[in-house]
Amino acid sequence: MIHLRSITLRTPPAERAARFPFAVPAIAALLGTRLDLTTPVTLLVGENGSGKSTLLEALAVAIGSITVGTEDVGRDPSLDAVRPLADHLKLIWNQKTKRGFFLRAEDFFGYAQRMQRTLQEYQAEVRRIQADEGLTRTQKGLAQLPYGREVAAMQQRYGAGLDTISHGESFLRLFQARFVPHGVYILDEPEAPLSPMRQLALLALIKQGVAEQDAQFIIATHSPILLAAPQSTIYTLSANGLAPIAYDEIEHVRFTRDFLNNPASYVRHL
């Protein structure tokens, strides 16, 4: 389902228009136009510095997305630079929702560590209550009940712990655990911790989310695998602005295909 229908940029104050993030060509291109989200999956592709992350971060702030990271969008200092942009984004919804989440690949380790610390704190509190000789058995049971429920819920969701398995495995497990119906998922380069096979597994989860959970995805990626997502529209961001592009016309796709067909022709020129 398409929850978020379109994004437009309100005209910023003159003193800000020539500064980051409004001066990024792909961001500036939103002025006087509208970015229509016509398919359940919207993919953003472009070189580093083209504005993909800037747009996604501002969008997450504008929506008030749940963040898979160390801080929520309202307090995360790494998002301070894009808050003025978020304030000038106009979002048109078919069905407004804050379900789903915002995920930057670089935030994943911090999130996993935070979840593990929280689990350990709950477990330590249960042990403290159990060791308290001043409490009756009934009192201990009642006192540790909320902590026990949280521990059980976290273990059911994440298993032994996100930091006890490989980065790619834990990334996919987290995505599965946090997946809810009718969500908008904003993902910034989610392929970073994933092998090609794991990227294909993520692609399958995205396809399943669209088909079975009415999910909408907005993804910035360099991955030719993720760029092949069904029911998607691809936009390229560059110094020329922002424009739709076909899969076979994407430079990342053509370069990867050419390299795999003849790697020696590239390697010998290094």
Q: What percent of the chain has pLDDT over 70?
A: 83
Sequence ranges of the domains in the chain: 4-107+183-267
DSSP assignment, residue 115? H
Question: Which H helix or E strand runs over 92?
Answer: strand 89-93
Q: What is the model's pLDDT at position 143? A: 73
More confidently predicted of 50 and 4: 4
SS3 219: strand
Q: Is the dihedral of CA 141, 142, 144, 149 positive or negative?
A: positive
Q: What confidence tens digit (pLDDT) does each residue in 121-160 have?
A: 777 777 777 777 777 877 767 777 776 666 666 555 555 5
Where are the extended beta strands (E) located within 221-266? Answer: 232-238, 241-244
SS3 185: strand
Q: What is the model's pLDDT at position 147? A: 66
Q: What is the model's pLDDT at position 162? A: 47
- pLDDT category at 192 given cuts 50, 70, 90 is confident
Q: What confidence tens digit (pLDDT) does each residue in 54-106 have?
A: 999 999 999 998 877 666 777 888 889 999 999 999 999 999 998 898 988 76
Taking all residues of the chain, what is their mean pLDDT, rounded to a whole number? Answer: 84
Q: What is the model's pLDDT at position 244? A: 94
Q: Which CATH number fits domain 4-107+183-267: 3.40.50.720, 3.40.50.300, 3.30.300.250, 3.30.1180.20?
A: 3.40.50.300
State the average pLDDT over residues 249-268.
Answer: 88
Residue 135: name the closest of 124, 122, 126, 146 by CA.
126
Q: What is the largest CA-CA distance in the chain?
A: 76
- Give the span between the Cα atoms of 173 and 157, in whole angstroms: 9
DSSP assignment, residue 243? E
In the predicted structure, residue 261 carries a pLDDT above the cut 70: yes
- pLDDT category at 112 given cuts 50, 70, 90 is low
Q: What percent of the chain has pLDDT over 90?
A: 41
DSSP assignment, residue 10? P
Q: Which residue has the tokens 């424009």?
A: 243
- Residues across the chain: 270
DSSP assignment, residue 31? B
* Interstrand relation of 41-45 and 232-238 (parallel, antiparallel or unpaired): parallel
CA angle 121/124/130 to nearest 5° reads 145
CB contact set of 33 (below 8 Å; sequence gap of 6+): 8
More confidently predicted of 32 and 184: 184
